[in-house]
Structure formats: structure tokens, C-alpha cells
Amino acid sequence: MLHDIAPPASGLRFSARTEGGYTIAALGGDLDVAGPPVLALQLLRVLRPRASRLVVDLSEVSFCDASGLAVLIGTGRRARLLGGVLRLAAPAHAVTAALRLSGLLRQFDIFPTVLAATAQPQPAKHIPDTSTQMNTSSQAASGGPATADAIGASNCRAWKTTVAYGATRRIHSLG
């Protein structure tokens, strides 16, 4: 079953279908501050007591900020309250980077494909957080690992994400 849902004004694309006992919501475009209010309503609309197993296909998401992550957190909570699960499938690099930088990577069950997310009965193994294992040219000289803040500082900008009361917020500071 395919749910035709009008796209939000932000340009974020959303479609939902039911397959193998899961509702699969496919997102595309920018998951930024303009889209989450409408996206949250769309995701909550497809979650119901008897349809609480949700897979969000993030393969076509080109950008994700803290407001997009907050929608995923809220959707996951709602799914669990209904006795279901939220699984993220095929996250694009932008989404994986946002999850890693925010410290939320381990909070979600992440699968490489939608098929894997719907086929595996148990939780997925989490993508390892390698942000502390990356080296920048400034860190390579010292031989130490670079953190996300060090990488941002080397570009004269630091992006910091705080997590408070289950919501995330991205703070931009010039270095």
C-alpha cells in the first residue's frame, strides 16, 4: 500500500508504503529547519498502534541538521510508545555525519538497506563512531586523533551540537 502524501513546502520529499509488516517512509532532499514540522506530522500519521514498525529510508537525503535529527528522535519515541520500532535504512553520508557529530549514532538501529531493515528481526549493529579516529593535517603532525571540533576549528568554523531533554540543537560559532 502506498500513501500519497503532499510534499512539504521545504522541498523535502516524503512517500510511505507498507511492506512485510513494516511501514517504509522514504525521504529525499534537505532535512533542515524548514521541513521537520510537516515531516513530524507525516511520520506520526503513518505510525499507529497496529502499524508501529517504521523504517525510514534516508538514502536520498542530501542534508540533515539538528531539527531533522530531533524529528527522528521524536518518531523513535512514538514508535516505542506504540510497542514498535524505528529503523533507519541506507543513511546518506550527510545523515551519518550529522548522527556522528551529534553523538546520536548509537541511539538508532541503522541498516545498510531497506531490505536489511525489514528482514532482520533483531536490532542492527550500530555504525561505529569513527569521528575520534579521523586525522586532519594539523592532527597528523602531532600523531593524535582529531575530534569533530578540531576538524571544524581547522576550517575556522566549529559546529557544536548539544542534546538536552531529548531535542538537539546545532550551534554555529566562528573560530
**Amino acid 8: pLDDT:** 46
Supply the angle between the helices 93-102 and 66-81 in degrees, to the nearest 10: 80
How does pLDDT run across 154-174, given as a tens digit for each residue? 332 333 333 333 444 444 434
How does pLDDT run across 96-112, given as a tens digit for each residue? 999 999 999 999 999 99
How does pLDDT run across 49-97, given as a tens digit for each residue? 888 999 999 999 999 999 999 999 999 999 999 999 999 999 999 999 9
Rg for the chain, CA atoms, rounded: 17
Report the percentage of the chain scoring pLDDT > 70.
63
In the block, residue with C-alpha cell 541538521: 65
**Amino acid 123: pLDDT:** 53
Q: What are phi and psi of 139, to 5 degrees?
A: -80, -30
The letter for the amino acid at 86 is: L
Structural domains present in the chain: 1-121 (3.30.750.24), 130-175 (no CATH)
